[in-house]
Chain A
């Protein structure tokens, strides 16, 4: 097929929106980043950009990881309200057990245990939501209390200390000129793209788009749905590792804010709440937009009341936006 060599912007833009639905989130990423840079006084100083990237992405990585997981669950037509609680459990386990750099074997084992817990918790969610067909909203909300309760049981008061040797790797490493956190995101996206372009990706979008049509066509709908919750659990456990390395300590409520942030991020990134539409790359953009907005608010030195209000408004607008948009279109 002969392709026109000239870059056709409007076609490219349409494709971005129709096929990947990330046009809007791309704009928001650019706009929020520009605003953030403008209100940063020292942006043009040499090395400042890299410093900003490093400090921002190490803060954002946990939320971005759970957002990716949430996006995949949403794509399959589900919802995971327990991912934040899984982060809390993982964080608490690490803070309690990874205390000395002299026991690399034990530390590695505990990291694997955290990942194992994430997979298991995700499977439990998937089993109830997909195999037994219970309402995902209710069931993952319920399991979130079980997981949070578990975290609180392990660590009733904030504490624990992860060795500096580990946290500094996370906080300050640069590989080939990029902060390690950015490389982690790129890797996760790469792995996702691998599955996205295999049968798994096709099935996922079909299941989210119309589960009964997918079933009649021969797609293993139940297994696909369970797998999305397992992936979300896995990414939540990775987020727990990142969060622990970021803060260096344990807090039984550490993931509480991440659940809603993950949904908002995914929706800002163009993922449809009703399933089957959007792209995982978009959800990363969504996470970045949320991070930028937080930074802007704090750079404006508003008092904390304002900060909470604006954060909440962004969430409401992001979630209500698609519905409002449709309503306006229908009225016309």
Chain B
């Protein structure tokens, strides 16, 4: 066993009422690559941010090179030799590649002036590490804002390496790289490992973990639940640890009727844009289709694209009609509704009354000749009863409601329009359990009355409990379309991780089924 370089013990971190981390314990060894694995919300990013001083822990301790440490900002951690390559990049778009790589680490002339020429030349050297894998637009004096995501990621990696850290954390650093670039990165990682650095590799790609890591720590619900040597482990074992032993839950999918004389409601062919890499699927009337996968694999973008918020290439048809929504109002006209995930910024006017919020998309139908406020009130009352909205009155501001009730208002305002196709973008995020079950009941009612629902959730359990069919997205594509016997938690997690070994079978099985 190599020397333990950095060790975290029982780290806890809360954001409001949410425990992001309950017991984050890892040991980073010099000369070893440690993989940090876990599904959505398991606390990987929080833990890495605590180690690098971006966040400070509520409890627990960090031991680095034998001393107990506590970094209150990234500067202090960097001085001590701890660097991270972040998932959401830490580059300044309005600066050049060289300026970014050397930011807060500039080289100076004797006179104390910044030595641009020197930094540009050294950047040129650094870029050679990835030579041939990027376009000529990536050069030391290019502005970062003009670079595509993979080249930005390369700059981010070089920036971290350039500081010659003792501990380097790669947080989803491969997510936007292609295979050749990943290969170069791994060569670098191996070189650093052989130099005796401690490396942490956070990734959701199983094959990469098995390629590069020596050891894996598994986080689940903010707790360290497993620590295995990669050489003695298997994908299966790690997935099993991520899912947990209590995973065998009883499922009662909402709508069992799968004999299929129903009309196709939604058909997409090869939709492509910045986040989507060719998505094709079809959904039948009254179907409840879950969209799963790790966060940020294009799920939200898919829903927003269908709703007309994002531009795309490809073909979408709804109710048998080929459509091209340019604006959400086009989608609304076709009875399509989108319930956004970020209530506060996308779905609600927090300071206005519940009544106003419920009717925001609907005033038109009450408007002639004068505002029929009484009818509007009655309808709003009906919906709020249907939703079981807990409120003082229709006139109290939305900001006075709890998170769950506020989310009901977002849903309610679209229910008033009787949508035929409902797109849900992680609607239960931060919603309490009681409200969730009411929400499920509501979905059930909608399905039975003929509404078709596309339901993205970052909560795997919720998807498994609700949806008879789940499409798992990975890297902007549908990695697996699970239904029937194939719909198990293990398959869902495996597909989320892009574990390619069985996902191919999954697709085939599923096509056979449909």
Contact = CB atoms under 8 A, between A and B. Distances in A.
Interface of A: 18, 197-199, 201-203, 205-206, 208-210, 212-220, 276-277
A296 to B, nearest CB: 34
Contacts of A215: 73-74
A74 to B, nearest CB: 13
B112 interface: yes
Interface string B66-110: 000000011100100000001001111111000100011110100
Identify which of A199, A209, A212, A219 gathers the most chain B CB atoms within 10 Å of its CB.
A209
Given A213-B90, A216-B52, 7 more contacts: A201-B114, A202-B99, A202-B106, A210-B92, A210-B94, A216-B74, A220-B75
Contacts, number: 69
B104 A217 contact: yes
A107 to B, nearest CB: 35
B114 A276 contact: no
A280 to B, nearest CB: 16
Contacts of B113: 197-198
B90 A216 contact: yes
A214 B105 CA distance: 12
A209 B90 CA distance: 11
Nearest to A276: B94
A215 B104 CA distance: 10
Given A198-B113, A218-B74, A213 B99 contact: no
Contacts of A205: 92, 94-95, 99
A199 B92 contact: no
A197 B119 CA distance: 13
A131 to B, nearest CB: 14
B54 interface: yes
B54 A206 contact: no
Please give me the 3 A-B residue pairs with the lowest Cβ-Cβ distance, nearest first. Answer: A209-B94, A209-B92, A216-B90
A213 B92 contact: yes
Contacts of B73: 215
A328 to B, nearest CB: 18
Contacts of A213: 89-92
Contacts of A202: 99, 103, 106, 114
Interface string B411-432: 0000000000000000000000
A277 B143 CA distance: 12
A16 to B, nearest CB: 15
A276 B92 contact: yes
B112 A206 contact: no
A203 B99 CA distance: 10
B166 to A, nearest CB: 16
Contacts of B106: 199, 202
Nearest to B90: A216
Contacts of B75: 218-220
A3 to B, nearest CB: 12
Nearest to A1: B117
Nearest to A214: B92
